[in-house]
Chains A and B, each alone.
Chain A
């Protein structure tokens, strides 16, 4: 016996076509862009970064590795497609990107003359609407006014054109930015990686604090290796991003994250609470001064 609902559905399908109403499971999952980094693709963000969504790399002000990780991902993206880097920090070093393996010929660097976020978002939107498939946005800690609606139009364009958008921002996060993000990864510095008195890289802890595409709460420790521009033999064949969690398992070292500074307003899930108060890589007192816990 037809119900009012089934009659209404039949009417809508008759007037507007079969495709206008579909069940939720017919919509399919979220497409993902594989980063090529196992720690991201297999553990933190299954499949890779979501396509058509905005992903966010967030950290407290200071050295955290978020910009290095962002640029490492830009380097990977530029090797297979056109990448746009919206530089609102004004600190992009193309030489560093080249050392990370970026194909500079496939990279467009956008710097709005006024430095305003809103203008930058408009410019980025224009490129996304033209078909730019990969957008990286580096935001500084100071935000201006009147950019929220331009961010929303950028998010719409990213969704409409199936682009990958990765934003790097410093805490405290503006509410509009946190709301627009489908995937938020928190970067927390764990200490410098040193050998023979030289700094080789930065250890950082990456936590999924918000995810609309997978389960949040996953944590991983990374080593962001700094490439050495004038020692090519050192850099060749060595990945810029190393998953320390896997190394730890091999060495049978207990997983710890005692010195993870909490970012204001974020609560880590119970599964990621550290099991041990000590860290094998970052002894107390060796923490990076600029990476102090936020209040």
Chain B
């Protein structure tokens, strides 16, 4: 079904059903083109008065559940930041919103997506399909988008054609490009694309003048291994850390990411956890690269009690390098990499370890006043907490959660660490048959 009017009219498509969308029909297309793409579709004219009335009714109902609500032609967004007294978690809250819409529209084909940005929430809802909920945890947006085709993003046709010509056919392939590469190739649209492939909403997020130093939301992954009873055996700890490093390295490799900082925390029996955080000189992207860093951390820990569990966490995840699109590199992209390496060195060794110089405008008489030291341009720093080594448990990390408390044994537990600040948003396609 395609909403907009008869195909002979020179009007755009207002909405399309899932089956019509599968044939390539999109809102905004001319109705004639929609008919060519989906010849068997039923074309329905939109009743403007009814649509306006329905939209107002929907807004008034949704406002009881969420403070900020926006209703589009076939999608509605709600801001579920914070907590609702009747719905403690965001998923249950989103279900309540979906039921509200369902009752009003008397429609069962409602899908819900929960994510930290409008666009990812909408894509999640479309991926979930009718009567399903898809929740994308904060920090997992890029991983969620990576395997999807580029057509899920609102791309300019020229950009899409050029990316297709380069063999970049999924979101993950584009996400591995640096911002400089995309900006050089596509200008401001490239910056939009850079944000969208990482789960952002595009240009609304970045402000002119920020250039390439746009801070990414902090993303982190972790592995927690519970040991059988408390142990002080260094070999057992080494085994546990090694296993965690390999598992975490596999996850990093699957995500195509490198980590800017690594934290090792040992949970102690009847004592406060002991942990160390380090910013590695080379960001690890696999188990083989992560293991020496974890071993260095283990050697630096001062353990005062038997260890009950080992947590290995990585932060500041960035797309890994070494893809085919490195052929684009040169100029700014190379400078971005060098700036990132300099930032890591400064984060680890202190602000004076790597510096730039610039001549002063008014040097005066003394030779030492002719120049001043400056910080090199930071492309990717190691996230928060730029101390070289931060003893103790990082404040931004939480324990492994309820699932780990009852489980004992050697099996590593995959978990998502505490989410970065994000706004959960629910998106509900409002298709009516």
Contact = CB atoms under 8 A, between A and B. Distances in A.
Given A126-B341, A129-B282, A229 B370 contact: yes
A82 B335 contact: yes
B281 A105 contact: no
A107 B342 CA distance: 12
- Determine which residue in B281, B282, B338 has the highest number of CB atoms from chain A within 10 A of its CB, and name it: B338
5 contacts: A111-B352, A123-B353, A130-B340, A131-B334, A133-B334
Interface stretch (B125-133, B218-226, B354-362, B398-406): B354-362
A109 B422 CA distance: 38
B367 interface: yes
B376 interface: yes
B345 A127 contact: yes
A219 B345 CA distance: 40
A101 to B, nearest CB: 12
A123 B338 contact: no
Chain A interface residue count: which class?
Answer: 20 to 34
Given A95-B371, A108-B354, A127 B349 contact: no
A132 interface: yes
A123 B280 CA distance: 11
Contacts of A133: 334
A235 interface: no
B318 interface: no
Contacts of A94: 357, 359, 370-371
B337 interface: yes
B229 interface: no
Nearest to B365: A230
A131 B337 contact: yes
A291 interface: no
A98 B358 CA distance: 9
B206 to A, nearest CB: 24
Given A108-B355, A123-B353, A129-B341, 9 more contacts: A95-B359, A95-B368, A95-B371, A98-B359, A104-B356, A104-B357, A105-B356, A119-B349, A131-B338
Interface string A118-140: 01001101110111110000000
A123 B345 CA distance: 7
B135 interface: no
Contacts of B354: 108-110, 123, 127
Contact of B367 (A95, A126, A127): A95
A97 B370 CA distance: 11
B261 to A, nearest CB: 15
A32 B422 CA distance: 51
Contacts of A123: 281, 345, 349, 353-354
A126 B345 CA distance: 8
Contact of B358 (A105, A113, A119): A105
B272 to A, nearest CB: 29
B281 A108 contact: no
Contacts of A112: 349, 353
B367 A93 contact: yes
A231 to B, nearest CB: 14
B195 interface: no
B28 interface: no
A135 to B, nearest CB: 11
Interface in A87-108: 93-95, 97-98, 104-105, 107-108
Nearest to B359: A98
B147 interface: no
Interface of B: 281-282, 329, 334-335, 337-338, 340-342, 344-345, 349-350, 352-359, 367-368, 370-371, 373, 376
Interface in A47-61: none
Contacts of A126: 281-282, 341, 344-345
Contacts of B349: 112-113, 119, 123
B148 to A, nearest CB: 30
A222 B349 CA distance: 39
B280 to A, nearest CB: 9
A95 B370 contact: yes
Contacts of B357: 94, 97, 104, 107, 109
Contacts of B345: 110, 123, 126-127
Contacts of B376: 108
A111 B342 CA distance: 12
Contacts of A131: 329, 334, 337-338
A93 B368 CA distance: 8
A108 B367 contact: no
Contacts of B370: 94-95, 98, 229
A126 B342 CA distance: 8
B371 A98 contact: yes
Nearest to A104: B357
Nearest to A132: B338
Contacts of B337: 130-131
Nearest to A119: B349
Interface centre among A93, A104, A108, A229 (most CB of B within 10 A): A108
A109 B373 CA distance: 9
Contact of B350 (A82, A113, A129, A130): A113
Nearest to B341: A130
Nearest to A82: B338
Nearest to A85: B357
Contact of B359 (A104, A110, A130, A132): A104
B373 to A, nearest CB: 8
A127 B334 CA distance: 11
Nearest to B344: A126
A93 B370 CA distance: 10
Closest 4 CB pairs of A and B: A130-B341, A95-B370, A94-B357, A94-B371
Nearest to A97: B357
Interface string A60-100: 00000000000000000000001000000000011101100
Contacts of A108: 338, 342, 354-356, 376
Nearest to B370: A95
